[in-house]
Structure 1
Amino acid sequence: MKYKMLILDIDDTLVPRGGGISQKNAAAIQKAREAGVYVTLATGRGYYGSSHVFRELGLDTYVINYAGAVINDTRTDKPIFVTELDNSFVQEILAMADDMNLHAHLYQGDRIVYEREHPYASAYCAALNLPYSIDSDIRKKTWQNVPKVLIITEPERVSELLPFFKKHFENRVEVSASSPGFIEFNRLGANKGTAAELLAARLGFGRDEVAAAGDNTLDLELVRWAGLGAVVADGNPDVKREADVIIPACAEDGVAYLIENYILKDDANGIMRNSGEKKDVQARL
């Protein structure tokens, strides 16, 4: 079997918006694990926010959280790798969000901190059952141990705001989009691709032995780095162009399709692959 490690994004790849893990995806993941494939997750979510997913799947593995800023061990509930945003960048992002009338919050471990009540923040914390605190002095404090800052806006504004923030923070901060309306900020070099490379090396897997699946720009470096990079059919067009294989949409059990038609087979018959060589991960930690 060529692919010995499978790394899956959660939202809109494994789990559809507002839904759960389908029986077909869960069964395929279990089948892959029984065949000896090391299955794990790479998500923008924090550890607590992703815990019900890996526990439902019975994964006792390392998990990539905060879009690559943290790698956690599910057996000990402790991180083995952490990278954080400098306070200067945290404050710059918060100030820009305030000036642009955008909601932004930072993470301290799995706790969310934001400046004032906002319906986006309330909905986000409720959806993931996350602990949070409101701090009116958030922009006056010096913050440490911040793996990520998140801006939440209307989904239709992301196409305008993402290029703006990418240009503003070029070569200073990682900026990417995840779920609709989410713009994520991590330390430069902290992304799913670099985290996957670190984790694969720790586990003794070569790049060519790793397959991965995602949907949005938060998954771009992971898709580029993996020996087999898959993107769901309803994923971001820019990310799809970088994929080796396009799989069915999240709601159509694309993960199960990938496992059944490629991971558990030794050839790529019947799967359309994009031309071109794999691109190296752009940033290194």
Structure 2
Amino acid sequence: MGYRLIALDVDGTIRSGSNPIAERTRRAIDAARESGAVVTLATGRAYRSAIVNSAALDIDVPISTSQGAYIADPVSGEVFRHCPLTGEMALVTLDKLQEHIGPDDSGTQVVAYYPGIMYVDRMSQWAASYGQRTEIEVRLVSNLREVASEGLTRIVAVGDDADIEALERDIRPLLSMSVLVMRSLPYFCEILHPRGGKEDALGWMCERFGIARSETIAFGNGYNDVQMLEWAGLGIAVGDAVPEALAAADSVAPPFDEHGVAQVLEELLAKGLIG
């Protein structure tokens, strides 16, 4: 018996920037699927942004988006799992973020995500550009506390790398007992429901498809992939991953620009270890 479930992070793992997914990677994923494996995405992207990538790979099984907080069918849109922040979680998070950031800090912006919507309390250049790139509606409100009880998928602080690193370090001890705090990108600090991580989504996938944890492979490169790489039967970090992901992985693939994911899948397929 080989590996039967393959979970793929997107950005920095199977694609980068505006570049499309490489043909070699597509072929390797197709071959893994033809061998009987379930191939899915486990991405920090919001659902509407993620389905562009699932469509490019012809994925028709549930995908994990917004880390692991939102699992849905990439074709029909049917939602299978949503772990939103409670109203209390959201209010406490917003208060702690505001205390840390301060009213005069215009360089860091806090935004709140609801499926298909990003709420902002000011329409910054970054927010407007984000909406255009991702096709997510950016909705302006006078205060994010107004939407705290809406069932927010996540709250995110966006800013300079150094500021966000410091923010994560400072607020983690204040919030981590009740919510999940992580940097998904150097300039993104996310707060989610405590069961909103990629590892929880991978566990859900295993239950849905009747696959053992030991039969899973996870590929990733970022801070938000660490727990998933630790949880999977075989956690593989691409060679240019952040140090935390490299340390968490069971194995390290070649770097992204050397088609690391494709190389590993090709090797496992050649050994009959997939499907």
Q: Same fold (TM over 0.5)?
A: yes
Match of 2:258 in 1: 252
Tell whether the 8 Å contact from 2:6 to 2:40 is kept in structure 1 after alignment: yes
The 1:55–1:168 alpha-carbon spacing in structure 2 relative to 1, beyond 3 Å, is same
Q: Which residue of 1 aligns with 2:155?
A: 149
Counterpart position of 1:105: 111
> C-alpha separation between the residues in 2 aligned to 1:264 and 1:132?
46
Contact in 2 for aligned 1:32/1:264 (Cα 8 Å): no
Deviation at 1:266, TM superposition (A): 4.2
Gaps of 5+ in 1: 268-285
Does the Cα contact within 8 Å between 1:216 and 1:239 map onto a contact in 2?
Answer: yes
Residue 143 of structure 1: how far off its partner (Å): 2.3
The percentage of aligned residue pairs carrying the same residue is 25
Instruction: Please identify, of 116-125 and 64-73, the stretch whose mean Cα deviation from structure 2 is larger.
Output: 116-125
User: Which residue does the alignment assign to 1:29?
Assistant: 29
Q: Secondary structure at the match of 2:30?
A: helix
1:191-241 Cα distance to aligned partner (Å, 9 max, x none): 110110111111011011100011112111111111000111111111211
Rounded to whole Å, the distance in 1 between the matches of 2:203 and 2:117 is 27
Q: Corresponding residue for 1:3?
A: 3
The whole-number CA distance in structure 2 between the counterparts of 1:258 and 1:120 is 36
Tell me: CA distance 1:226–1:186, structure 2 relative to 1, closer, same or farther (3 Å): same
Cα distance in 1, alignment partners of residues 255 and 125 from structure 2: 29
Which residue number corresponds to residue 70 of structure 1?
70
What letter is aligned with 1:52? Answer: V
Q: What's the RMSD between the two structures over aligned residues?
A: 1.9
Q: How many Å apart are 1:131 and its aligned residue?
A: 1.4
| CA contact 2:3–2:37 (8 Å) conserved in 1 | yes
Q: Contact 1:111 / 1:133 at 8 angstroms: preserved in 2? A: yes
Give the ranges of 4+ consecutive aligned residues of structure 1 lying more than 6 Å apart after TM superposition. none
Structure 1 length-normalised TM: 0.88
What is the one-letter code of the residue matched to 1:5? L
1:51 alignment partner in structure 2: 51
Partner residue of 1:195 out of 186, 201, 221: 201
Aligned equivalents of 1:95, 1:16: Cα separation in 2: 34
Aligned residue number for residue 179 of structure 1: 185
Structure 1 letter corresponding to 2:184: S
Partner in structure 2 of residue 82 of structure 1: 82
Aligned twin of 1:17:
17
Is 1:232 the counterpart of 2:234? The answer is no
| CA drift at 1:141 | 4.5
- Aligned pair in 2 of structure 1 residues 207, 142: CA closer, same or farther (>3 Å)? closer
**Larger deviation, residues 220-229 vs 122-131:** 122-131
Partner residue in 1 for 2:229: 223
Aligned positions of 1:118-129 closer than 5 A: 118-129=124-135
Which whole-Å CA distance do the structure 1 matches of 2:37 and 2:142 have between them? 47
- 1:7 counterpart SS class: strand
C-alpha distance in 2 between matches for 1:105 and 1:264: 46
Give the Å deviation of 1:93: 2.8
CA 1:109–1:133: 2 relative to 1, 3 Å? same
For residues 12-65 of structure 1, give each alpha carbon's deviation from its aligned partner in whole angstroms, at most 9, with x where no partner exists: 111113322111111111111111111000111121111111011111111011
Q: Distance between the aligned counterparts of 2:130 and 2:270, measured in 1? A: 36
TM-score by length of 2: 0.91
| Higher mean C-alpha displacement, 154-163 vs 4-13 | 154-163
Where 2:145 maps in the other structure, the secondary structure is coil
Greater shift in the superposed pair: 69-78 or 200-209? 69-78
Instruction: Report if aligned partners of 1:229, 1:243 keep a CA contact under 8 Å in 2.
Output: yes
Show the counterpart of 1:39. Answer: 39
Contact 1:12–1:179 (8 Å) recurs in 2: no
Q: Tell which deviates more after alignment, 198-207 or 99-108.
A: 99-108
Matching residue's letter, 1:139: R
| Contact residue 125 and residue 132 of structure 1 kept, 8 A | yes
CA contact (8 A) 2:128 2:138 kept: no
Q: Distance in 1 between matches of 2:65 and 2:36?
A: 23
Say if 1:97 and 1:103, in contact at 8 Å, map to a contact too: no
Q: 1:209 to 1:263 in 2, by over 3 A?
A: farther
- Which runs of no fewer than 5 residues in structure 2 stay unpaired? none
Question: 1:275 maps to what in 2?
Answer: none
